[in-house]
Chain A
Amino acid sequence: MKQPMHIELSSDNIEKITAHFPSKIYKSNSTLFYEGQIPISGYLVVIGSIQISKKKKFKKMLSSGSLVGFTELLNKTPSQISAEVFPNTQICFLDKSTILEVCKVVDNELSNLLQTFLVAKS
């Protein structure tokens, strides 16, 4: 089955995530992860955009609310795409330790939300 490249989040869910995970604004172009690699973090686009490519060919642009790398990080599976961030884009980083810590809490709003991402993409 073809895997979706990313997960789309509503503005409410962006707020819930950014309240718990750190965000940073990129000053220059940078590759978030290369195709075939396991992303070292989940990346949520808060403001701005990232470019998705496959086999060095442009696939699409993702903007605010797009989450990439999340399931690959937790399942330790290589990504089928490369993601590059542009200057002035704000990215929220979902690190593995914090995700696992949050997911341990039963019946917590954020924990439930993160678990739906795993179900949505698998």
Chain B
Amino acid sequence: MKKVSLSTCDDCPSKKDGIFCHLNFSEIEDISHHKITNHYKKGQDLFVQGTHPFGLYCISSGNIKLTQTGVDGKESILRIVHAGDILGHRSLFTDEDFAKTATAMEDTEVCFIDKKYILSVIEKNPSVALNIISKLSRDMGNAENKMSSLHQKNVRERLAELLLSLKATHGVHEDNRWRINLKLTREEMATMIGTANETLIRFMTEFKDAGIIEQEGKIIYIKKVDELLEWANIHY
């Protein structure tokens, strides 16, 4: 029977950003031996809202969207995770069901480590726990910022903020502009800032007319970061 090639954590493109970055070679080898590596095609779910978590997912490559479906059946994107990020850690420690659905946005490589094993790794290596705490803290900070934006900012400011955050996570600098290396539909972008499709399209046109962004096909380019910062009403 066909065997899957065993990619090791040591070769992982996201090793330097991952939770195991401080472990030594033999510890990494042990995890590589135990973990399960899978490829998910665009649109395939890693897990579904309401199901039970029984391990930790480490994103090796690709982008994954975390969505929540409301009582009206509407889907909102809460977060996009990429290489080096982990998934399932919050539900794992609280022993609650997944509150979100994780779906691959493109072909993605994801490693899975079961709960019992990851807890034993944490017990032996406090650096792994610290790295998870660091990721949780960052996630919490982002969630707080998003919540205050939804309450305090208008749609123009929220859209500018979203473009800046996509630049930080998926931006590639080329030819004096920033290319957002992530294909999002208008609908997906609208749910990320809590607005209607039509409103988002109107503001995107305004940003383009002001020369702040450009679009080639589905790819967005940011041309004027300073102006975008002003429009977002944030200064960092």
Contacts and interface: CB of A to CB of B under 8 A. Distances in A.
Interface residues of B, number: 28
Interface in A16-46: 22, 24, 26-31, 34, 36-41
Interface residues of A, number: 27
Interface in A72-102: 73, 75-78, 93, 95-98, 101
Nearest to B45: A31
B3 interface: yes
Contact of A73 (B36, B48, B51): B36
A3 B1 CA distance: 9
Interface string A41-53: 1000000000000
A22 to B, nearest CB: 8
Contacts of A78: 2, 4
Nearest to B44: A34
Contact of A96 (B48, B114, B120): B114
A57 B155 CA distance: 44
B117 A96 contact: yes
Interface string B31-74: 00010111111001101111110110000000000000000000
Interface in B83-103: none
Contacts of A38: 4, 36-38
Nearest to B57: A40
Nearest to B69: A28
Given A40-B114, A97-B116, A28 B50 contact: yes
A27 B4 contact: no
Contact of A77 (B2, B34, B45, B120): B2
Contacts of B45: 30-31
B223 interface: no
Interface string B104-128: 0000000010111100100000000
A97 to B, nearest CB: 4
Interface centre among A31, A75, A97 (most CB of B within 10 A): A97
B117 A76 contact: no
B219 to A, nearest CB: 29
Nearest to A78: B4
A63 B47 CA distance: 22
Interface of A: 3, 22, 24, 26-31, 34, 36-41, 73, 75-78, 93, 95-98, 101
28 contacts: A3-B1, A22-B54, A28-B50, A34-B40, A34-B41, A34-B44, A37-B38, A38-B4, A39-B36, A40-B54, A40-B55, A40-B112, A40-B114, A41-B54, A41-B55, A75-B3, A76-B3, A76-B6, A77-B1, A95-B54, A95-B114, A95-B115, A95-B116, A96-B34, A97-B115, A97-B117, A98-B116, A101-B116
